[in-house]
Amino acid sequence: MNYLLQNLETLLLLLFGLCALVGAGLMIVLRQPMRVALALVSTMIFLGGIYGLLGVHFIAAFQVLIYVGAVMVFMVYVIMLLEVREATGAKYSALLVPGIVGFVLVLGVIVIGIWRAVPAPTGAAGNGAYGISTFAVSFLNEYWLHFELTSVLLVAAVVAAMAVIKVSRAADRKGRHG
Amino acid sequence: MDRTQLLIGLAMALFSIGLLGVIVRRNVLVMLMCMELMLNGVNLSLVTFAQQTATTVGAVLVFLIFVVATAEIALAIPIVLLLVRGKRTLKLDAYNDLKG
Amino acid sequence: MLTAIVLLPLLGFVLNGVLATQLGGNRVGKPFVVVVGCGLPLVAFALAVKALFDLQHANYAPLVEIVYRWATIGDSPFEIAFYFDRLTAVMTLIVTGVGSVIHIYSVGYMAHDRSFGRFFAYLNLFLFFMLLLVLGRSLLVLFVGWEGVGLASYLLIGFWFDDLANARAGKKAFITNRIGDAGFLLGMFVLYQALGTLDMDRINAAFAFTGSAAPAVSASLVGILLFIGATGKSAQIPLHVWLPDAMAGPTPVSALIHAATMVTAGVYLVARMSGVYLQAPEASAVIAIVGVATAFFAATIAVVQTDIKKVLAYSTVSQLGFMFLALGVGAYGVAIFHVVTHAFFKACLFLGAGSVIHALGGEQDVRKMGGLARRIPITFLTFAVATAAIAGIPPLAGFFSKDEILWYAFASKQGGSPLLWVVAAATALMTAFYMFRLLWLTFLGRSRMDHEVEHHVHESPWSMTGVLLLLAMLSAVGGFIALPHFLEPQLPLPTVHESLHHFETPLLVLSVVLALAGLAGAAVLFGGPPERAQALQERFAGVHRWLSGKYFIDELYERVIGRPLVWLSDRVFLNLSDRWLLDGTLNGMGALGRWGGGVLSRVQNGSLHRYAWFVMMGIVGALLWSWRHV
């Protein structure tokens, strides 16, 4: 019990990490897209948990809010819109075997690379935590330019979305009358 | 093995699994979700290194990645929708018109 | 002034060539062409006479005019220079003199030809090159003239090029000449390498030394190589095949180029290089043997020819053989003497033949002539005089020169022998025979002409007959010039065996007897009814066929040289090298590129999975690469 309480952080970290991996693995294996989406949601939530354990709580909040709350909801909406059942046909593409071979290679190379040289941390993980106020102040003071550019990016996204709608409507009309 | 190596290993594993998913899965929407997984893996590595320093620069970068990922998915999915409307299937094998 | 002699015909070529032909739009009429085309050579002739007087004034020291330094290679200069001594004087006077009168003849002969201006332009071009040849000091300048006269000959033989046979004859002449030129060039290379100069007077002087100061090259080698060039130009065996075919050109061309001047360029070359040949007994022996063999061989063919110009062509080859025989036994001055007399009577004969052809409206077959003596008397008279001259009947010109050749062939210490004399004498007999045969068949006896042709027989205009009379007169009295003695200080006469001196008069009488025997034989066979000649022809039908076919040498060349060469070009060079090797390589490289592209393009099969897999492999590669520095 003492051992458990003393190393709780590390154990929780291991647990969350394992669950995230399981979720990721399920994404590859599951057949139906809805289930795949749910596996991804679980991975993301566990990642949020890891962020929290590291002390950056606001990023954890952002992870859940933005990724799960916006991105995955949108994804689920689209899956439901297209009524995808995916029951028939082969599950995997033609490149299954080469893919797995490549995957092993990539993993091996990365892991060996990390093993050999990881830059010395200035502090152990979980040491330099800071709160949202620190973050907010520096974000809007020093990095205001990046903030504005992000707004520009979002405006561009909106414009692009409207352009897509227009193009698709024009294509529809031509398809119907032509 | 200390915490940093563990976390980085986890991040890279998530990235690799996402890449594998892009290669082996046939459904276009599933491939998009795997790409999100890749982004998450990279995000994790970024956060790991970011919170070791005293400055907030890492966190800012992470936040910006959130924003960009959202904008990207907001546009990628409509594009896929339009494509699907034309070909009436979600299988990637149908979308090889640009072959050489 | 020597430069003026050379350049005046060139000016005539340019003026006539540009203004009087289709090139310049036919701007000027015939009078302009005649004045420029005939006047400029006459001026050149006058200048040549003046140069002769200048030479005499200067006590026969050679006049040298250096015009232009062409190049300096190493420490030897190559200049365009003109050289005038006794030999050059003789040749220049012949070229410009006989050339000018033939120009005047052409005014009448080519009067109705539509390319009047072009003809005179080419004739002037020929004169320019021929003068370059005889006046040149260095072998290079001579070679330029050599090639130039070959070009002019080609242009003039193929003058009526609408007929493909004429163009082919011109081509044959040029190509056969070029084969000889290979030997000429090799001779020049050898000379330059040994002596460092190509100036002929210097070369002759260098070969005058013997022993240790002698040049480092064999005189016989040089002699043989230069003689190969002369063989091509002067139609000796085995390169004689072009001269009979060259009769396809207009008759003034045959007279000027293929009788009087161009074909004697080879003789001039050997005579000019006498310094070399005096030291080359082997080469001289070869020249003598080839000369006498050619003379005999051509004379046998001439006996059975039926085209009036072909008889004269083979006669020219035969007479050239005589000239080379003289050169071969060391009698250089005598050979030049024969060149001069031959120019007179052969030009007269050719122009007379032209007059006959003109009178008969184009007929050239002697079997369709006869009985013309009364219809065209001037032509007949001049032709008869020239025939007597070539046969060697005294006191006409041919007798003097031919008799001297026969004498030196017998008695010269530098290679004369009785065998040479016997063959040469037999040739002289045949010469007299076939020339008088030609005279009888063409002019005498009963007429065998077609009726329409017979109606239109008329004497030629004065521009033609005047020239014939002049040349006949020269053939009659030209023998008294005593040219060998004039040339003796420069071209010494060969010494004669003492023991043979008492043969001189008998041999003289014998040659006259042979000439008269030829005359008699021709009179008997062809003066009477035609059945006599016919019977003889049937008796020796096989020999006749062999001779009529010119010993089938053209066919031999075609089979032995022509066909293998064509096979080689077609099979080896065209099909194998050009098509298979070169084109194949280039096309193969193209095909290789296309095949490679096809293979590589299969990477892009439109499958996003495959592209993503490549991304994965790229990541692996990049990471492995980054390990170099870890």
Residues of A in contact with C622 (CB under 8 A): none
pLDDT in tens, A22-40: 999 999 998 888 999 999 9
Residue of chain C whose alpha carbon sits nearest to that of A115: C630
Determine the distance from the C-alpha atom of residue C95 to the mean position of all C-alpha atoms in its chain, rounded to a whole number: 14
Q: Inter-chain contact A24–B91, Cβ cutoff 8 Å?
A: no
Residues of C in contact with A103 (CB under 8 A): 616
Which of B8, B12, B20, B22 best probes binding to C when mutated, by most C CB atoms within 10 angstroms? B22
Nearest to B71 among A37, A67, A154 (CB): A154
Q: Could you tell me if B22 and B31 are in contact, meaning their C-beta atoms sit under 8 angstroms apart?
A: yes
For residue B22, which phi and psi values (nearest 5 degrees)? -60, -35
Q: Output the pLDDT for position C630.
A: 56
Whether B89 contacts chain A with CB within 8 A: no
Rounded to whole angstroms, the Cα distance separating A50 from A21 reads: 12
pLDDT at C215 over 80: no
Nearest to A17 among B10, B36, B55 (CB): B10
Whether C605 contacts chain A with CB within 8 A: no
- Residues C157-169 have a mean pLDDT of 89
Closest Cα in chain A, distance from residue B97 (Å): 17
Could you give the C-alpha distances from C227 to A40, B76, C180, in angstroms and in order?
A: 104, 94, 9
- Tally the residues of chain B: 100
Q: Inter-chain contact B100–C604, Cβ cutoff 8 Å?
A: yes
Residues of B in contact with C613 (CB under 8 A): 23
Q: Which of residues 8-27 of B touch C (CB under 8 A)?
A: 19, 22-24
Q: Could you tell me if C92 and C131 are in contact, meaning their C-beta atoms sit under 8 angstroms apart?
A: yes
pLDDT at C106 over 60: yes
pLDDT at C294 over 90: yes
For residue A124, name the pLDDT band (cuts at 50, 70, 90): low
Residues of A in contact with B54 (CB under 8 A): 128
Closest Cα in chain C, distance from residue B31 (Å): 10
Which of C607, C620, C628 best probes binding to A when mutated, by most A CB atoms within 10 angstroms? C620
Percent of chain C with pLDDT over 90: 33
Q: Output the pLDDT for position C377.
A: 87
pLDDT at A127 over 60: no
Task: Enter the tokens of residue B86.
Answer: 């034309």
Q: Inter-chain contact A102–C617, Cβ cutoff 8 Å?
A: yes
DSSP H or E segment with residue C147:
helix C139-157
Chain A contact partners (≥3 CB pairs within 8 A): B, C
Query: What's the mean per-residue pLDDT of chain A?
Result: 85
- Residues C565-569 have a mean pLDDT of 87
For residue C461, name the pLDDT band (cuts at 50, 70, 90): confident
For residue A89, name the pLDDT band (cuts at 50, 70, 90): low
Q: Inter-chain contact A20–B10, Cβ cutoff 8 Å?
A: yes
pLDDT at C255 over 80: yes
Which of A106, A111, A116 best probes binding to C when mutated, by most C CB atoms within 10 angstroms? A106
For residue C69, which phi and psi values (nearest 5 degrees)? -90, 115
pLDDT in tens, C499-510: 777 778 888 888
Query: What's the mean per-residue pLDDT of chain C?
Result: 87
pLDDT in tens, C402-427: 988 998 888 888 777 888 889 999 99
For residue C441, which phi and psi values (nearest 5 degrees)? -65, -35
Nearest to A27 among B37, B59, B92 (CB): B37
Among the ranges given (B48-52, C23-27, C616-620), the one the predictor scored with the smallest mean pLDDT: C23-27
Q: How many CB atoms lie within 10 A of CB C434?
A: 26
Whether C607 contacts chain A with CB within 8 A: yes
Instruction: Tell which wins on pLDDT, A19 or C16.
Output: A19
pLDDT at B38 over 90: yes
Residue of chain B whose alpha carbon sits nearest to that of C604: B100
Closest CA to C280 of C328, C203, C222, C219: C219
Q: Inter-chain contact A95–C610, Cβ cutoff 8 Å?
A: yes
- Residues C167-183 have a mean pLDDT of 91
Q: Which of residues 573-612 of C touch B (CB under 8 A)?
A: 601-609, 612
H helical segments located in A33-143: 33-54, 57-62, 73-82, 96-116, 132-141
Q: Inter-chain contact B100–C608, Cβ cutoff 8 Å?
A: no
Q: Output the pLDDT for position C17.
A: 85
Q: Inter-chain contact B51–A55, Cβ cutoff 8 Å?
A: yes
Give, in degrees to the nearest 5, the angle at Cα C269 between C263 and C273: 165
Task: Enter the tokens of residue C501.
Answer: 């001196």
Q: Output the pLDDT for position C496.
A: 80
Chain B contact partners (≥3 CB pairs within 8 A): A, C
Rounded to whole angstroms, the Cα distance separating C564 from C568 reads: 6
Whether C614 contacts chain A with CB within 8 A: no
Residues of C in contact with A116 (CB under 8 A): 627, 630
Q: Could you tell me if A126 and A55 are in contact, meaning their C-beta atoms sit under 8 angstroms apart?
A: yes
- Residues B77-94 have a mean pLDDT of 86
Each residue of C504-526: b (16+ CB within 10 Å) or e? eeebbebbeebbeebbebbeebb
Whether B94 contacts chain A with CB within 8 A: no
Q: Answer yes or no: is the ipTM higher than 0.90.
A: yes
Q: Inter-chain contact C616–A102, Cβ cutoff 8 Å?
A: yes
Closest Cα in chain A, distance from residue B10 (Å): 7
Closest Cα in chain A, distance from residue C600 (Å): 19
Q: Inter-chain contact B95–C606, Cβ cutoff 8 Å?
A: yes
Residues of C in contact with A117 (CB under 8 A): 630
Nearest to B13 among A10, A21, A150 (CB): A21
Q: Output the pLDDT for position C143.
A: 94
Q: Inter-chain contact A113–C630, Cβ cutoff 8 Å?
A: yes
Percent of chain C with pLDDT over 70: 99
For the residues of C178-207, what is the DSSP string, one character each? HHHHHHHHHHHHHHHHHHS--BHHHHHHHH
**Who contacts C238 (Cβ-Cβ below 8 Å, separation ≥6)?**
C231, C553
Rounded to whole angstroms, the Cα distance separating C200 from C197 reads: 8
Percent of chain A with pLDDT over 90: 42
Residues of A in contact with C623 (CB under 8 A): 109-110, 113
